[in-house]
Structure 1
Amino acid sequence: MTVAQAVVEFLGRQYTVDDAGDGEYRERLIPGMFGIFGHGNVAGIGQALKQWQVQDPTLMPYYQGRNEQAQVHQSVGYARHTRRRSAFAVSSSIGPGATNMLTGAAVATTNRLPVLLLPSDTFATRAADPVLQQLERPDAYDITVNDSFRPLSKYFDRVNRPEQLFSALHSGLRVLTDPAETGAVTISLPQDVQAEVLEVPAEFLAEREWRIRRPEPEDADIRRAAQLIRAAQRPLIIAGGGVLYAFAAARLAELAELTGIPVAYTQAGVGVLPWDAPYCLGAVGSTGTTAANALARDADLIIGIGTRYEDFTTASRTAFQHPGVQFININVAALDAYKQGTSLPIVADARKALAKLIRSLSGYRVSGDLTARAAAEKARWNTTVDEAFDARNTPLPSQNEIIGAVNRAMDARDVVVCAAGSLPGDLHKMWRIRDPFGYHVEYAYSCMGYEIPGGLGVKRAAVAEALRAREGTEPSKPRDVVVMVGDGSYLMMHTELVTAVAEGLKLIVVLIQNHGYASIGALSESLGSQRFGTRYRTLEPKRHTFDDGEKLPVDLAANAESLGVRVIRVEPGANVIADLEAAVAKAKAEPEGFGPVLIHVESDPLLDAPDSESWWDVPVSAVSDLESTRTAYQNYARRKEQQKPLLG
């Protein structure tokens, strides 16, 4: 068989095996492949996929996409919803087809999510040289555009000879299924090698299982952690995405109930506890709640579980102000366990570590004063969100009101998807989560354009989840997936709506039209740059400014309709919030297979979300002719004084 045929058949027979406390799990590791074909892969991977479509279409189902980057985003969305147990492969042609995937690779690796990238490459034999789309460098003729994937991938290989395929695929899938090392795995396939004949051993094509490794914590570390917790006066748990990937939410709830230790969560950790759980303080950090940030400010012990402590979580290292604050970091990745100069790194699976910690803390409970303060701060924040969600009955609603309306209209099991702009921060602090799978915001890379293709990946995973559950006791109706996206991100990558139309995938998109970049506009204003370059306006040529012209006559609802999408226009007016809730309910009532529904609503971009009483470090010009910038720098300098190295 050819190298490409061997790739497809091998991938179709790989399985993930896992036991995360919910019984033995076995599922296809690579359930399908996305691809756009060009001269680099049409006679290789393309031919192999077609051959198997004729012989057995279940071995490696092929899915179309409209942009290679978006195909990677779909795979990332799928991988996150399956908790890294499954990942799609993505094939591309050489040249721009390959480099279109670079942003997707960065999204996957930054978020520690598995995706298998199979970009085609120039001739290994150099029989035709140079070929179309070949990068020529006089100093290094063996470099191709695919070398750009090296810093963005957790594993990179190039199969220059057919015999190299065996080790390349085995090594790549080892990384793909490693919870501490996973990310983008890139295996570059020169176009001539793809079509070459390879003698393939039968054992290479046999079914193979890849067990997800979940390391146990050291008993000595657990004993030391229990000692530190018992000695602390104001401990606080910060739960990240690692809790969800370890299926440890129930264990975390048990620990909080047992000890009374309050819990805050990161952007990736939303869903570890329901929003109204007694010990849940909500989001922490720059986009956090005032409740979580108030307790973080005074905490003398931070118990980080499955978090990588990015700058939003730590409020750019200003969140933790207790002079003697210490850190216990539980993480499957040593890189994260050792962050913040931790007093105690515990390199282990979150669920297994929590189970042992619960036993070690038997009989321990925090003081009544800490419990009372946490409850008071939680109540204060809940009142703040209630007020932000309340409809003002004005023609243009705030984004807060829109979030509240969508939140109320969705069922507990539904999933909200977002990625960039002002929405992720507002969702993080205000979204009232009720299900561990109900929140999917890509904020490690905060990639504009991720929302719609990422949402499609989540929807695919939700459909597969429902199919697996039909013989069990779980609900078999697929979760509804609601993408919330601003006009800026929509314009970046809306074309995957066509993919949803082609496959009849019921994706609900709430498009918020605010005629510009609301997030950066607000940030620009706070930094003294007066919302420069953040409005969608016509050019005023005399002063060469886009800030003061007429709004662009762009109709994004009509754009979606032209792609075959069913559109519901929520018109401005006093009833806009009630109409929006009704529109979401109407879209949810449509059957599976209906295809995508887009709900278009306009908002007032100048109405901000409630203050987190926190900070994010974005440098301000130290000198300026603008008074607004000089004032902003004075505020910035005062904030910088609060930063600390956080050596525990």
Structure 2
Amino acid sequence: MAQTVRMTLAQAVVRFLEAQRVSRDGEVHRFFRGVFGIFGHGNVTGIGQALEEYEGLPYFQPKNEQAMVHSAIAYAKSRRRLSTFACTSSIGPGATNMVTGAATATINRLPVLLLPGDIFANRVPQPVLQQLEFPQSMDVSVNDCFRPVSRYWDRIQRPEQIFHALPEAMRVLADPAETGAVTLCLPQDVQSEAFDCPVSFLQERVHLVERRPCARERIEEAAALLRRARRPFIVAGGGVHYAAAEEALRRFCDATGIPVGVSQAGMGALPDAHGACLGAVGVTGTGAANRIAREADVVLTVGTRLSDFTTASKTQFQAEGVRFIAINVNAFDAAKHGAVPLVADARLVLEELGKVLEGWRVPASYGAEIVKAREEWAKTCEELTRSPDGRLTQAEVIRVLNDEAGPGSTIVHAAGGIPGDIHKLWRSKEADDYHSEYGYSCMGYEVAGALGVKLAHPEREVYALLGDGSYLMLSQELLTSIQEGAKITLVLLDNHGYQCIHNLQRGSGSRGFGNEFRSRRGGRLEGEPLAVDFVQNAQSLGARTFTAKTAADLSRALRDARATPTSCLIYIPLESSAGLPGTSWWDVPIAEVSPSSSVQEKRQAYEEAKKKQRFHY
């Protein structure tokens, strides 16, 4: 008979998670770095007790459930999806706080395991505290809202069910094509229930992360398209990083001369100094990348899901008869835009495609055009990042941070106007210096995300670049960073509101409404700006603080912060809230009927812009 050990469901879950490993290219990685958790009656005597008794799986104490999921997925992203965290919560609001994080993980194709507490499986004491009663079915709880944002979802009603659920969870988490949030709902009574668990179930298990090859016929088809191309263009996404294909991409570009534009997740796939790198592409793209992309006749995408920001709402690629080739481990993403789908590992495909194309290179005239585009954008970039009156602008903050954050640094950012400017202006020096959450554009990600990056790479200097809106929304993991001795530096731009959307409103014909932090005057929030002492707030959490009003101030503050062993905040008041002008369009519908003449004008312009939308089949 198989050897068994008597333990609770929660104890078995913790022991199982600690024993999981993944292997790629012969290197074995511990898959779960630890568990983030906030305890309540739904998990404290189950998972909480198991974590206390078994120290093989480290416990980390976050201050908000949404934030802990952000930290987990930032860690997973920094670790190239080869390691992550589990996150546990109580039932009720603790669980639903994680839903936003789950969506962020799944949209960005990043692994995280969620273990929310759930209502009693035996149903004896129901309705329990925090239970949502759903009269049509006693089997429904608030945790059912995780279903659409999870790649795998299960409710464990009996301890023995984990023999199927946990291996299935690992299959999804470790699969580069399937990964995302996995949710296992754990009823609080079942967590504490004992059963005889086979010892073999708890032993170390190594899951192979395969580098899946591409069918030879597809490689030949893609190569034939590229050989006929006169103006080919590459869109590099996050999949380049996850496949550790940066060097393969560089060699491919060296051999063929094909230029590269990068998505938010793909920044650093090719260093900015490389002659083929044209920088960001799409709505937040550079003038160089967008100009070349607009006339591309063949577009080779590598590890990108081609969101509306990358395709400029399907207006970016305007050449007649443009064709797409898509390298992606996910067949769903590879089939977009009628692409020739190369469903395989990015590094393997780039290497194989390079061999088949050996000796072929883009026309010399096209190469000269690429050089000119890079030079022109470099001049424009220099002009955009120099303030004429000495007062700091958002663009100049990015330039100074880019200059001061040398090798071994990572800049983290997420929603608002910052991603638009930094995507254009950042000059990546290495693959890990730029960390963006722009798949879900989730405000509040920045501080928790910076903590996750620091936990993944303690040797790196980690900066979170964020606005006052994001800071007010979710900043408390600054305290967790201090608690863990995981130093991060927040660079906080204060422009008194959600100015990115305020600018979008005004650009759409509105005079602006509801997006600035102002006191109420009359019936509207149009009084004086609200005064918030962000410096004192950060100090109260234990951070060291600096204030910068000029570029020189910011340089000094960044150097001082770098020499400080604990987490820091650099406060920067901004007078101007305007972002940089874009070079591509974004589909934001304007009211079709409005008494405002400015809205009417913008609607006419919107209808004209929509005529450029292209559908590629």
What TM-score bracket applies, with the shorter chain setting the length?
over 0.9
Q: Secondary structure at the match of 2:506?
A: helix
Counterpart CA distance in 2 for 1:116 and 1:551 is 41
Amino acid at match of 2:490: V
Report the CA distance between 1:41 and its aligned residue: 0.6
The 5-angstrom pairing of residues 623-634 of structure 1 reads: 623-634=593-604
Task: Tell me the residue number matched to 1:316.
Answer: 313
Task: Tell me the residue number matched to 1:500.
Answer: 481
Contact 1:262 1:374 in 2 (8 A): yes
Task: Tell me the residue number matched to 1:479.
Answer: 460
Counterpart CA distance in 2 for 1:31 and 1:494 is 23
Task: Tell me the residue number matched to 2:46.
Answer: 44
Deviation per residue, 1:245-280 (Å, 9 max, x gap): 000010111111101111111111001111121010
Counterpart CA distance in 1 for 2:180 and 2:578 is 37
Task: Tell me the residue number matched to 2:4.
Answer: none
Task: Tell me the residue number matched to 2:386.
Answer: 390
Contact 2:35 2:59 in 1 (8 A): yes
Task: Tell me the residue number matched to 1:600.
Answer: 571
Task: Tell me the residue number matched to 2:403.
Answer: 408
Q: Secondary structure at the match of 2:509?
A: coil
Task: Tell me the residue number matched to 1:469.
Answer: none
1:102 aligns with 2:80: no
Amino acid at match of 1:61: P
Contact 1:410 1:585 in 2 (8 A): no
Contact 1:45 1:194 in 2 (8 A): yes
Deviation per residue, 1:6-60 (Å, 9 max, x gap): 11111111111111xxxx22111011001111001111000001111xxxx3x10
Contact 1:455 1:483 in 2 (8 A): yes
Deviation per residue, 1:214-247 (Å, 9 max, x gap): 2101111111111110101111011111111000
Contact 1:300 1:326 in 2 (8 A): yes
Deviation per residue, 1:265-323 (Å, 9 max, x gap): 11110011111210101111100011111111111100111111100000000001111
1:537 aligns with 2:515: no
State TM-score, norm by structure 2.
0.98
Amino acid at match of 1:506: K
Contact 2:46 2:191 in 1 (8 A): yes
Task: Tell me the residue number matched to 1:366.
Answer: 362
Deviation per residue, 1:363-412 (Å, 9 max, x gap): 101111111111111111111111112243434x2100111111111012
Q: Secondary structure at the match of 1:173?
A: helix
Task: Tell me the residue number matched to 1:515.
Answer: 496
User: What is the count of residue pairs matched by the alignment?
Assistant: 611
1:86 aligns with 2:83: yes
Task: Tell me the residue number matched to 1:563.
Answer: 541
Contact 1:304 1:328 in 2 (8 A): yes
Q: Secondary structure at the match of 2:591?
A: coil
Task: Tell me the residue number matched to 1:154.
Answer: 151
Q: 2:268 pairs with 248, 268, 271, which one?
A: 271
Higher mean C-alpha displacement, 191-200 vs 531-540: 531-540
State TM-score, norm by structure 1.
0.93
Report the CA distance between 1:554 and its aligned residue: 1.2
Counterpart CA distance in 2 for 1:364 and 1:412 is 34
Counterpart CA distance in 1 for 2:46 and 2:276 is 55
Counterpart CA distance in 1 for 2:88 and 2:124 is 23
Report the CA distance between 1:579 and its aligned residue: 0.8
Deviation per residue, 1:331-384 (Å, 9 max, x gap): 000001000112x11100000000101101111011111111111111111111
1:355 aligns with 2:351: yes
RMSD over aligned CA atoms reads 1.0
Report the CA distance between 1:166 and its aligned residue: 1.3
1:10 aligns with 2:5: no
Task: Tell me the residue number matched to 1:553.
Answer: 531
Counterpart CA distance in 2 for 1:179 and 1:38 is 33
Counterpart CA distance in 2 for 1:487 and 1:400 is 16
Task: Tell me the residue number matched to 1:579.
Answer: 553
Amino acid at match of 1:81: S
Q: Secondary structure at the match of 2:36?
A: strand
The 5-angstrom pairing of residues 16-27 of structure 1 reads: 16-19=22-25, 24-27=26-29
Report the CA distance between 1:607 and its aligned residue: 3.5
Counterpart CA distance in 1 for 2:308 and 2:510 is 22
Task: Tell me the residue number matched to 1:589.
Answer: 563
The 5-angstrom pairing of residues 26-425 of structure 1 reads: 26-52=28-54, 57=55, 59-342=56-339, 344-395=340-391, 397-425=392-420
Amino acid at match of 1:596: S
Counterpart CA distance in 1 for 2:245 and 2:445 is 27
Contact 1:222 1:356 in 2 (8 A): yes
Structure 2 gaps, min length 5: 1-6
Amino acid at match of 1:100: N
Amino acid at match of 1:424: P
Structure 1 gaps, min length 5: 464-477
Counterpart CA distance in 1 for 2:566 and 2:103 is 29
Counterpart CA distance in 1 for 2:190 and 2:567 is 39
Amino acid at match of 2:53: Q
Amino acid at match of 1:536: F
Task: Tell me the residue number matched to 1:524.
Answer: 505
